[in-house]
């Protein structure tokens, strides 16, 4: 997502992934800004209180290289009604 974060009058626009949501705010994995062609650096965790979280734009991610997640919609799971398939 692309979102404005920071105190009023001093916000910055960042591209980040929400990694945790709590009563006090959210934790974002903020992508480091880099020059075109530069080696990509790992995201940096940033705690953002609700009062400092501005409007954002959701960016849909269809796949993520190196995510290490093997769970998806085709994974076997019990039916919602508790019955067998």
Residue 63's pLDDT is what? 80
Residuewise pLDDT in 10s, the chain (85 residues):
999 999 988 999 999 999 999 999 999 999 988 778 888 889 999 999 999 999 999 988 888 666 555 544 444 445 555 555 5
Would you say the pTM of this structure is higher than 0.85?
no
Residue 35's pLDDT is what? 79
Residue 33's pLDDT is what? 83
Does residue 50 contact residue 24 with C-beta atoms inside 8 Å?
yes
């Amino acid at each position: 997502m692309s979102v404005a974060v920071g105190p009023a009058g001093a916000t910055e626009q960042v591209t980040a992934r929400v990694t945790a949501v709590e009563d006090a705010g959210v934790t974002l994995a903020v992508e480091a800004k880099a020059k075109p062609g530069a080696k990509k650096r790992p995201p940096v965790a940033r705690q953002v209180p609700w009062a400092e979280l501005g409007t954002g734009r959701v960016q849909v991610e269809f796949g993520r290289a190196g995510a290490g997640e093997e769970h998806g919609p085709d994974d076997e799971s019990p039916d919602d009604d508790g019955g067998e398939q």
